[in-house]
Amino acid sequence: MKTTAFLTDSTLCIGCKACEVACKEWNDVPADGYGWSGHSYDNTMALGHATWRHVKFVESPCSGQTSNQQPTTSNPDWQFSSDVCKHCAHAGCLEGCPTGAIVRTEFGGVFVQEDVCNGCGYCVVTCPFGVIDRRPGDGRAFKCTFCYDRQKAGLKPACATACPTESILFGTLDEMQAKAAARVDTLHARGVSDAVLYDAANSSVGGIHALFVLRGDPEDFNLPANPVVPTVHLRAGWTSAAVASAGMIGGVIAALRYFGG
């Protein structure tokens, strides 16, 4: 099987949230987002256990400036971008999962087996993108399945199928990488000089299977400049644990020997 990927192009997104709705309908994801965040048309503010596609409404000053200033009414800049699980090449959640509930599918996606997950919550703190979360009441962890069931049947994921502007594309990873690069070139040629590709290729997550074309600084979209897969901390952590264990054992033996009973 070929590795598949999303390409989400924020320059084509109209913020209609058809992806969120299609995802909920197909995957039977419970309702959320009835609250009013006060931030544009964003109700949930982030991906979560019941939000597997999330449209961000990024307001920033115009012409590619990416400071944190409020946009001015005379010169607003309003971008929309549909966020999703990144299906990392080196996925923190998958590495950390102690039950083996989180697996890599034949399409290269990261998939939670809901009949195995026991809700330990470790994936929640090992995801560098803040995607997966435990669902209160249910107790298990949930996130985008990459529509594994649809992919097995040869269909596109529900969000990509529903997107009316082809802002969400789906295909093989190679194909999506080529399209993303071509799209950024096209945008640059048209004078959209701040268009960038976000693929986390040069980070420890080793690239992602959900690529994004955006304008400006990816951090304004809550996409970390340098996502870190937590397994890079294992060596330092276990070395410290070994030193601490040896110190404790040695210290106790020394204390009993020296001071006696």
Partner 1 sequence: MTATYRDAPLVKPPVWTWEVPLYFFVGGAAGAAAVIAAAAHFGGAPFALLARDAKWMAAIGALISPVLLISDLGRPARFLNMLRVFKPQSPMSMGVWTLVLFSNAALAALLPIGIAADVAVAVAGVSGAILATYTGVLIGATAIPVWARHVDILPILFGASGLAAAVSILELLGHRTNAMNALGMAAAAVELLIIFALARRGSSSGPLMRGAEVLSGPAALLLRLAAISMPQLRVVAAVVTLAGSLLTRVAWIEAGKRRS
Part in contact with partner 1 (CB under 8 A); list of ranges 26-34, 163-171, 184-192, 219-227 = 219-227
- 66 to 105, contacts with partner 1 by CB under 8 A? 66-68, 92, 95-101
Give the whole-angstrom CA distance, residue 234 versus residue 229: 10
Residue 124: φ, ψ to 5°: -60, -40
62 makes contact with partner 1 (CB under 8 A): no
36 makes contact with partner 1 (CB under 8 A): no
If we measure between CA atoms, which residue out of 142, 195, 150 comes closest to residue 170? 150
Question: For residue 146, what is the enclosing H or E element?
Answer: none
> Which is nearer to partner 1, 112 or 176 (by Cβ)?
112
45 makes contact with partner 1 (CB under 8 A): yes
Backbone angle region of 139, left / alpha / beta, with phi > 0 → left and psi within -120 to 50 → alpha:
left
61 makes contact with partner 1 (CB under 8 A): no
Binding residue for partner 1, selected from 43, 140, 171, 181, defined by CB under 8 A: 140
Residue 30 DSSP code: P
Is residue 4 classed as helix, strand or coil in its secondary structure?
strand
> Which is nearer to partner 1, 158 or 223 (by Cβ)?
223
DSSP states of 79-108: EEEEEE----SS-HHHHH-SSS-EEE-TTS
Part in contact with partner 1 (CB under 8 A); list of ranges 27-35, 155-163, 174-182, 245-253 = 245-253
238 makes contact with partner 1 (CB under 8 A): yes
- 147 to 206, contacts with partner 1 by CB under 8 A? none
Binding residue for partner 1, selected from 9, 20, 42, 199, defined by CB under 8 A: 42
